[in-house]
Amino acid sequence: MTDTNDAYRFDFISIDGEPLPLDAWRGRPVLIVNTASFCGYTPQYSDLEALWQRYRDRGLVVLGVPSNDFGRQEPGSAGEIKQFCVANYSVDFPLTEKCQVIGGDAHPFYRWVAESLGEAGTPRWNFHKYLLGPDGQLAGAWPAQVAPIDRRITGEIKGLLPDAIQ
């Protein structure tokens, strides 16, 4: 049975133009991060890739959502964004097409987050992080200033992964 109030009802489009339904990762924790190529926080791509490499075999999904909403720091095309991420940070985790993450035209996932967490829970800048639990519910949210490898984030991720050597 599908819960119509969980994140699994939302679909993105991959940076390559393919369907990217969150339902494909049902039962797995998903870290969703709005990203930008020309931001002071852009080096967080390295930490996001490190998380992906460390925990993906145990089920973690890292999903980058490029957005030009803050400071116009993601002006490029899908091809330019992907090339930048791969060339500069060896990004191997999934990326979506460029999306709005704030306001009335925000992607439906981000509108759901705003409804769930209130205005204070919406992204305030690039590299805002949301962790979905295996049940598709929000399990955590952190602003850009909190690095992806911060213990607050990795502790939550570890708590959602199947038991194994951590």
Domain boundaries, the chain: 14-160
Please name the fold of domain 14-160.
Glutaredoxin (3.40.30)
Any idea which residue has 């993450």 for tokens?
101
Which pLDDT does position 119 carry in this prediction? 86
Which pLDDT does position 164 carry in this prediction? 52
pLDDT digit string, tens, across residues 20-67: 999 999 999 999 999 999 999 999 999 999 999 999 999 999 999 999
Which pLDDT does position 120 carry in this prediction? 85
What is d(CA 25, CA 42) in angstroms, rounded to the nearest whole number? Answer: 25
Q: If pLDDT is split at 50, 70 and 90, which confidence band does 3 have?
A: low
Which region holds residue 106: left if phi is over 0, alpha if psi is between -120 and 50, else beta?
A: beta
Q: If pLDDT is split at 50, 70 and 90, which confidence band does 4 have?
A: low
Q: Which residues are catalytic?
A: 39
Closest CA to 26 of 154, 153, 133, 163: 133
pLDDT digit string, tens, across residues 94-129: 999 999 999 999 999 999 999 999 988 899 999 999
What is d(CA 130, CA 1) in angstroms, rounded to the nearest whole number? Answer: 24
CB-based contacts of 94: which residues, under 8 Å, 6+ apart? 14, 20, 61, 62, 63, 64
For residue 165, pLDDT beyond 80: no
